[in-house]
Amino acid sequence: MSPQLLAGKRGVIFGALDNQSIAWQVAEVCAEMGATFTLTNAPVALRFGSLNELAEKLNAEVIPADATSLEDLQHLFTRSEEVLGGKIDFVLHAIGMSLNVRKGKEYTDLKHDWMLKTFDISAVSFHKMCQVLYNGNHMADWGSILGLTYIAAQRTFPDYSEMAESKALLESFARSFGYHFGEKNNVRVNTVSQSPTMTTAGKGVKGFDEFFGYADNMSPLGNAPARACGEYCATLFSDLTRYVTMQNLFHDGGFSNMGMNPKALK
């Protein structure tokens, strides 16, 4: 039985699509650890995913919201407070999409209107989310906000394309809002930089299977699976990490600190 680290905690989880999603795993772990929460994704994503199946399993309400819409976000958090019976203790932002990547556009020949859409969905949505939470006083004191990111924000992975800049922007937003939320009511804001993970979105990146194997060989502990990421996120939602804020936290089996692993040469 999982420890009840999150007993009595109320949350909102963005981005679960199917059982391969990291957000799906986070939701399952949080439920096992005693939390209650609402689930959300864009209306178009709800038509293609299986979020309602997760909601039924965990007894959670699904509230559709376009994370790029301030109006949708305001409704989401107001409704979540009503459903959950109080202010929000934790929020997970697990959102990312690039049309350029989906369409196979090379980094040196991107469509810039698509790039701006990537930034809006994958990064600016995090700022909008935090802004609505902040101005609407939706977060409980000592709450926790997390965004999922990737090491391409710091290092060059050519096939990750402009998603790398999106993640860098996301991490910057988290640091900046971490200051404002901390000063306001001790809410912490962090990002978790996860290993390559076999999600629906991840597998859409060119050469992902090969890179997954490379990262697994480079990492002393191997790639961190989605379930383990869910468990790590749960600790960051708990009261045990109250003084961790404005950090980009690597959850990658040691990959981020490796230079070379002989296994990767075999």
Annotated catalytic sites, by residue? 150, 160
Taking the CA of residue 123 as centre, how many other CA atoms within 13 Å lie in the half-sphere pointing to its CB? 22
**Closest to 130 measured CA to CA, from 62, 63, 67:** 67
Sequence-ordered list of residues with C-beta below 8 angstroms from that of 106, at least 6 positions apart, any chain: none
How far is Cα 83 from Cα 71, in angstroms, rounded to an integer?
Answer: 18
Tracing tokens 């802004």 back to the chain, one arrives at: 131
Distance CA 22, CA 197 (A): 8
Give the Cα separation of 202 and 20 in Å (integer).
10
* Spatial separation of the C-alpha atoms in residues 212 and 116, rounded to whole Å: 27
Q: Look at residues 230, 202, 229, 218 and name the one whose alpha carbon lies nearest to residue 254.
A: 218
**Rg (the chain; Cα; Å):** 18
Distance (Å, rounded) from C-alpha 232 to C-alpha 253?
12
List CB contacts of 83: < 8 A, sequence separation 6 or more: 38, 61, 63
Instruction: Confirm if 90 and 188 have CB atoms less than 8 A apart.
Output: no
